[in-house]
Chain A
């Protein structure tokens, strides 16, 4: 079995081969190969023995993206071929340069511009608040505020398009 995976910006390929013995496999991660035995302790925990070293792993999530805990570290691992199930990783590439989205789940506390306003790059558009911390979302480009697609007190998520700016230089 071959699993093309992604952790952050890093691609990793894991290949697993049965060893013939119960709950024991040979696993190749990139260029390293280890003998691995495993036991599912609960739906969220695995006990692994990797090349003779015991390891307790906690896992959550599914549908091609899992959060994996090992000794205080947490990794978000996704399967490359399944990233479009369940809207995983709404990438920057999906956005046109004039669209603005919050970096984290937040509440809209102030809207600083109106539709039709002319804004310059870096100008504040919307202030969102998350867990008592306020962040100003700034215009990524110069242009005209084409659409404001949110309201005060709205709960917004990364990937939501809050403001659309029609890019261009002011010609007067």
Chain B
């Protein structure tokens, strides 16, 4: 096994990868930008190297500096985490050229799957159902109009190089296609430097269901069941769960087989995720492959007992998978909530700044993959994810109640977070019934205001705190220093019973 690896990422995911490395006896090298000198991933690593200024292009997106840092530190492999360079084929190839193992699939596989129409062709040839739509992108709106006529409205226009909802529009009829085409084109040109577009049939109220896959260098491919990620805002997932409340054993088997076929057809290696949209009738369509570890990977870990980062490192080292499809099973139900530094009362505007106080949730079945501490300044330059809160329970309702309990314990003061909003989402009757579709937030929470119920108690607490002078104690502004290992080490590992 590797002796030392570099983690080309920051925040909670870098910390999460380091935990597994420590358990495996692998030394960790962190990298950081000027904004992250005191970030948790820097403090948790065995070694930390400075990359450059805080702009991503000068630090976490700078392939040359990352590779030099790996060579200088004597690391044998680079784990990219997710985001930044995790799905960058050139970076994967540059690592290999420099004699470093890239913990992920080979460059050409990342490139093919990152190109949406190439990926659709690969899947179609492998017999994986794809959403009816164009197989070749175009920059001519007449071509798109003709295609839309063929497959029928509503359609969704997407950017060839797309992602994150940019260059994407739902079009209800021919009258609005032309205008949508040009705004998508301009958005896509600005965001990706590539204005070619394609269109697909738009599915109404689908569920977003994805399958975790693992593939080794010896031709073994398995899936680790589904994750449902239908609760999204601005096309970004905020709550994920497994198993899906709509899944049947028969559908799971067919979708799992399709995911494995997708992996085999693309020459996949390492951990990845095959995303599908599933309609009300249980028909499923290939959406895309994410060629990396997913943010929501912990819910799979909680229910299968497998550590996906350990599996990634084992596969990258060249060992075969240590289990077969038949040996895998899921136990109980897991939920994940993404805790973002955002203000849910103001259209989820980012809310960076100083964390004045942090109290993490704990107790049975609770895991918090967290990248902040009291006194940490959450930088304005990067993704707003602060932590992922994961719970595991014997069934969906027990997991839901456990998540509510854990969120009610989770205090982050000084910046705004999505915690109070997530509490309200989990407590809606529709969520409790498992009626989770991709339009859930728009339908149930077109706007959101925090309930005033406890406001009087907050006022009372202010007055008592003032009266007894508790707030004037010198320790108050921030709790000093870094959390002890007792607070930061997880308590989540699940082994097969």
Contact = CB atoms under 8 A, between A and B. Distances in A.
A104 B351 contact: yes
Contacts of A27: 460, 463-464
Interface string A8-22: 001010101000000
A50 B382 CA distance: 41
Interface stretch (B103-111, B475-483, B489-497): B475-483
A58 B359 contact: yes
Contact of B460 (A14, A105, A131): A14
Nearest to B465: A59
A105 to B, nearest CB: 5
Nearest to B409: A72
A7 B455 contact: yes
A8 to B, nearest CB: 8
Given A55-B457, A58-B359, A72-B423, A1 B472 contact: no
B381 A107 contact: yes
Interface string B370-387: 000000000011111000
Interface in B439-481: 450-468, 470-473, 475-479
Interface stretch (B127-135, B198-206, B221-229, B410-418): B410-418
Contacts of B470: 40, 43, 46, 59
Which residue of A1, A73, A107 has the most chain B CB atoms within 10 A of its CB atom?
Answer: A73
A48 to B, nearest CB: 7
B10 to A, nearest CB: 13
B456 A30 contact: yes
Interface residues of A, number: 54
A44 B479 contact: yes
Contact of A106 (B356, B380, B408, B420): B380
Contacts of B343: 104
B152 to A, nearest CB: 34
Contacts of A74: 411-413, 416-417, 419-420
Contact of A130 (B350, B412, B467, B472): B350
A132 interface: yes
B357 interface: yes
A87 to B, nearest CB: 15
Q: In which size bucket is the chain B interface? A: 35 or more
A81 B352 CA distance: 28
B476 A44 contact: yes
Nearest to B469: A40
A3 B464 CA distance: 10
A118 interface: no
Contact of B464 (A25, A30, A69, A104): A25
B356 A131 contact: no
A147 to B, nearest CB: 24
A60 interface: yes
Given A66-B465, A131-B380, A103 B460 contact: no
Contacts of A43: 470-471, 473, 475-476, 479
Interface in A23-63: 25, 27, 29-30, 32, 34, 36, 38, 40, 43-46, 48, 50, 55, 57-62
A59 B471 contact: yes
A131 B382 contact: yes
* Among B356, B384, B463, B470, residue most surrounded by chain A Cβ atoms (within 10 Å): B463
Contacts of A50: 457, 460
* A-B interface, 10 closest residue pairs, ranked by CB to CB distance from nearest: A60-B356, A131-B350, A75-B458, A60-B413, A130-B350, A60-B357, A131-B384, A14-B463, A69-B411, A72-B408
Interface of A: 1, 3, 5, 7, 10, 12, 14, 16, 25, 27, 29-30, 32, 34, 36, 38, 40, 43-46, 48, 50, 55, 57-62, 66-75, 77, 79, 103-107, 130-133, 135, 153, 155
Given A46-B464, A70-B457, 4 more contacts: A62-B476, A69-B413, A72-B423, A133-B350
24 contacts: A14-B462, A16-B464, A16-B467, A25-B467, A36-B464, A43-B476, A59-B462, A60-B477, A62-B477, A67-B414, A69-B411, A71-B408, A72-B410, A72-B423, A73-B450, A73-B454, A73-B458, A74-B411, A74-B412, A75-B455, A104-B352, A131-B383, A132-B384, A133-B349
